[in-house]
Copies of this chain bind each other. A is one copy, B any other.
């Protein structure tokens, strides 16, 4: 009895320690994902895209600097690139609105997707945003539908679509560029329904519980891989992509190449249908009437 109690005590302690270690890991990842020196979309474009020609504007009312887009050659393939752009200096950050797109940004993405579709160019997106911009003009300018419409239009593309999450994958603003055939994610990037701070403020009623919320949200690449939300975890240099941006870009480039090689073998219509099915499968539910578990992953049940 004593022994088993002792064992139980030690096991509990171990569990707590692991728990702590894990929490620590998650928060470290959040911090690396937000690191000021972390390579941005333009850095990946510089490393991976030859002859990049930036194309601006939504053809409606603005060019949103929080979204960068254009045509270029990815290892011999002509592609369309669209990504969130964060700045590094304060001036840059302000210019790019910290990577928070406004409706004009999503619409710019939409019209570039249409260009890619018309000329059968594969689409590469880079996701790096705290989320959509929570401003009055953005709201009243139709942010909600702009995001929804971007997702629907991505779903309808007949060309291959590969999304790479390279930093913060924040909420709907991130997802708007990630309705892709393959979602790749760097080791130290995060992807989440809400920021840890936002989640803590709502559920814990105290933003100081951010680290705890981060852990609960499971926003890291390995966790998302286990949940089936991403296809590939792209390794980063030790300590994060900012330590060796070139090596980081090489790894991203290799992962994108693999994805494109696979996707370009598929019939466009099949590819489109599979993309839809990919998102149809995401979720965890059970249906006893069907006698089936609800999802391919259901770590715990109710």
Contacts and interface: CB of A to CB of B under 8 A. Distances in A.
A103 B107 CA distance: 16
Interface residues of A, number: 9
Contact of A142 (B61, B103, B142, B145): B61
A224 to B, nearest CB: 32
A107, A141, A142, A145: which has the most chain B beta carbons within 10 Å?
A: A142
Main SS class of interface, A: loop
A103 B61 CA distance: 10
Contact of A145 (B59, B103, B107, B145): B59
A107 B140 CA distance: 17
Contacts of A292: none
A202 interface: no
A59 B142 CA distance: 7
Contacts of A103: 60
Interface string A117-154: 00000000000000000000000111001000000000
B61 A61 contact: yes
Interface string A179-197: 0000000000000000000
A61 B8 CA distance: 62
Contacts of A59: 142, 145
A61 B60 CA distance: 10
A117 to B, nearest CB: 15
Contacts of A107: 60
Interface string A39-67: 00000000000000000000111000000
Contacts of A61: 61, 140-142
A142 B108 CA distance: 14
A103 B142 CA distance: 16
A140 B57 CA distance: 13
A107 B58 CA distance: 14
11 contacts: A59-B142, A59-B145, A60-B60, A60-B103, A60-B107, A60-B141, A60-B142, A61-B61, A61-B140, A61-B141, A61-B142
Given A59-B142, A61-B140, 7 more contacts: A60-B60, A60-B103, A60-B107, A60-B141, A61-B61, A61-B141, A61-B142
